[in-house]
Amino acid sequence: MQRYLLLFLLSPIWGVAQIGGIGIYKFLNSAPNARSAAYGGTSMVTWSNDLNVAFQNPSLLQASMNKQATVNYLHYPAGISAGSVAYVWHRDSIGTLLFGLQYYNYGSFTRADATGEKQGTFKAADYNFQVGINHPLKHWILGTNVKLIYSSIERYNSLGVALDLGATYHYEDTSRFVASFLIRNLGFQLIKYANQREPLPLQLQIGLSKQLAHLPFRYFLVFNNLQQFDLSYSNPNSIGTKIDLATQEPIAVKTTLADKALRHLVLGGEFLFTKTFNMRFGYNYQHRKELILGDENKKGLAGFSWGIGLKISKLQLSYGGASYIPGVVNTNFSIVSQLDDWKKKR
């Protein structure tokens, strides 16, 4: 217990808060499965017998997930594909372990020299190999993910290591109230791009969820990027930017205190209609503010996400959708199965 507390207390010393375009391995903070995509990008406070919730938050690992396996596929525009696979293994003498692999394939790019002459194509991809373990303490569960991150662009490569440290509180009898604290991507580069060290996308999160006693509904609130208060960003090149006629300079956009606070908020819920069918939704205020393309009157579905969960025989199927580009919906699919269910019974 003392070792876990020491890690939490020292973690702000090791990390540097970086948002926006600064840093490397940003894919680590993307939604790795359909459930997370439907929840607005995070499932860090969902108490469920689904190993996908533990991929982002190791303190959600449970012994009941033993021998669960999952395959996830995410389709993005412009030929970008991503996915993850994971497996849970439990032994009373060791604990509950999660082994996972996450990848992003960015497709092919045209290679050209300084004069613009084409010289073929090259590829780019990111990979995350991780192992998670939990440590239950009555109503508390502590968890750690250890990540080995590999990134490749053409003939250049980068290698990094990181930790996720999580703590989750819940009632063992009903599991109706859950609270989680999570530090993600606490680490550094071992091999640097262009001989220049870049910070990892450190993120501090706090989440709360509650399942209603008399309605089949669970809601959640997640506060992201608590390591930095002001997440706002003003792009002077965006469509609709106002110009000072006297100086011909862009007029600074003032961001209110409320707007800065709301940029940390992700909220949503899940309708638990039956044990085999449910519906999910999420709203990410920061995504909505960043993904509007100039015209405030044409916001579309930016920031909103949705999905369903369906159990058919031995398979748990999930779909998650979200719009990051007007008129285009990103699709996310997940399959989870308990491998013991496939064994033939005598």
CA atoms within 13 A on the CB side of 158: 23
Asked if residue 82 has pLDDT above 80, the reply is: yes
| Structure confidence at residue 14 (pLDDT) | 36
Give dist(CA 88, CA 96) in Å, integer: 7
Q: Is pLDDT of 27 > 80? A: yes
Looking at residue 57, its pLDDT comes to 95
Cα distances from 279 to residues 2, 115, 221, 319, in angstroms, run 40, 53, 17, 10
Q: Which two tokens stand for residue 26?
A: 């940003």
Interval 85-92 mean pLDDT = 95
Contacts (Cβ under 8 Å, ≥6 apart) of 304: 281, 282, 283, 288, 322, 323
CB-based contacts of 85: which residues, under 8 Å, 6+ apart? 69, 70, 71, 72, 100, 101
The answer to whether the beta carbons of residues 36 and 220 sit under 8 Å apart is no
**Above pLDDT 70, what percent of the chain?**
84
pLDDT number for residue 11: 39
Which residues have CB under 8 Å from 257's CB, separation 6+? none
pLDDT of residue 214: 87
Contact yes or no for 100/109 (Cβ under 8 A): no
Query: Which domains are present in the chain?
Result: 2-342 (2.40.160)
Helix ranges restricted to H, 34-87:
34-38, 52-56
Q: What is the mean pLDDT of residues 80-104?
A: 94
- Residue written as token pair 């606490």: 186
Q: Centre a 10 Å sphere on the Cβ of residue 43 and count the other Cβ atoms it contains.
A: 32
Q: What is the pLDDT confidence band of residue 344, given thresholds at 50, 70 and 90?
A: low
Average pLDDT over residues 134-152: 93
In degrees, rounded to 5, the angle at the alpha carbon of residue 341 between the alpha carbons of residues 337 and 346 is 165
pLDDT, residue 343, reads: 80
CB 204 within 8 A of CB 225: yes
What pLDDT band is residue 302 in, cutting at 50, 70 and 90?
confident
Point out the least confidently predicted range of 26-40, 58-72, 114-128, 221-235.
221-235
DSSP state of 38: H
* 288: pLDDT strictly greater than 50: yes
pLDDT in tens, 161-185: 999 999 999 876 656 899 999 999 9
10-14, 113-117, 233-237, 264-268: segment of lowest average pLDDT: 10-14
| Beta-bridge partner residues of 87 | 69, 99
Tokens 């996450």 locate to: 102
